[in-house]
Chain A
Amino acid sequence: EAGVAQSPRYKIIEKRQSVAFWCNPISGHATLYWYQQILGQGPKLLIQFQNNGVVDDSQLPKDRFSAERLKGVDSTLKIQPAKLEDSAVYLCASSLGNRDSTTEAFFGQGTRLTVV
């Protein structure tokens, strides 16, 4: 079974530029998550989708971050404009569902973003 795919693996941009990350979840997984992991910390949830609807985006900085999941499969996360503090690893994860035994989450390799 193929895992969660993310691209690119690495990205370096200047502050105030824009960047986009792509995620393809495990086939059949209805729930998709984007996490931000700053060096030395645990991942923090940015946004959670159930199919193509948003379940939780309470920690997404909506003035600069946006995410979409068209057709309930692939997802993109965009930052515009980027700030230095956005430097982090952006992790995508998916799970079969979001309740009970279906909630085991599987993560992709992440995209390491460096803003200079």
Chain B
Amino acid sequence: KQEVTQIPAALSVPEGENLVLNCSFTDSAIYNLQWFRQDPGKGLTSLLLIQSSQREQTSGRLNASLDKSSGRSTLYIAASQPGDSATYLCAVRPAAAGNKLTFGGGTRVLVKP
């Protein structure tokens, strides 16, 4: 059974500092991994999707890496801003029957001005 873990559960940084968010998963047989952002009381916004054959994906200040063999992904957010404050969730799509998207518990980020 696939398990996804995100550590730390919460993170507070001063504005301008780079953010590093970690995601680990137990089964390396995956189709892809997706990073989401969730603002309080809102749904999930897709940030980046990395296919199993890719090592990283970039979008603006966001960069996500994937090391499938070690079961890890890292989301980097450069030059953080107060508007980046949110909960960040990673989810993996196992390459197995049913392949349901499995989420980690999320990392709650606060960027202080």
The answer on a CB contact under 8 Å between A43 and B42 is: no
* Chain A: interface size category: 20 to 34
The answer on a CB contact under 8 Å between B105 and A45 is: no
Closest CB of chain B to A15's CB: distance in Å? 23
Counted as pairs of residues, one from A and one from B, with CB atoms less than 8 Å apart, the total is: 65
Chain B residues 41 to 99 lying within 8 A of chain A, measured CB to CB, are: 41-46, 49, 51, 89, 91, 93, 98-99
Chain A residues 24 to 60 lying within 8 A of chain B, measured CB to CB, are: 33, 40-45, 48, 55-56
The answer on a CB contact under 8 Å between A104 and B49 is: yes
Please give me the residue from chain B that is nearest to A98 by CB atom.
B99
- Residue of B43, B102, B106 touching A91 (CB-CB under 8 A): B43
Count of chain B residues with a beta carbon within 8 Å of a chain A beta carbon: 26
How far is B4's CA from A7's CA once the two chains are assembled, in angstroms? 29
The answer on a CB contact under 8 Å between B32 and A110 is: no
The answer on a CB contact under 8 Å between B43 and A108 is: yes
Chain B residue numbers with a CB within 8 Å of A17 are none
Q: Is A99 an interface residue (CB 8 A)?
A: yes
- Residue of A41, A101, A107 touching B43 (CB-CB under 8 A): A107
How far is B38's CA from A109's CA once the two chains are assembled, in angstroms? 10
Q: Is A18 an interface residue (CB 8 A)?
A: no
The answer on a CB contact under 8 Å between B100 and A56 is: yes
Q: Please, could you name 27 A-B residue pairs with CB atoms under 8 Å apart, sorted by A? A: A4-B43, A33-B100, A40-B105, A41-B106, A42-B89, A42-B91, A42-B103, A43-B103, A45-B100, A48-B100, A91-B43, A93-B44, A99-B31, A99-B99, A100-B32, A101-B51, A103-B31, A104-B34, A104-B49, A105-B46, A105-B91, A105-B101, A107-B43, A107-B46, A109-B43, A110-B42, A110-B43
Given contacts A42-B89, A101-B32, could you give 15 more A-B pairs where the C-beta distance is less than 8 Å? A33-B100, A41-B105, A42-B91, A42-B105, A43-B89, A43-B103, A45-B102, A55-B98, A56-B98, A56-B100, A99-B99, A103-B31, A103-B99, A103-B101, A107-B45
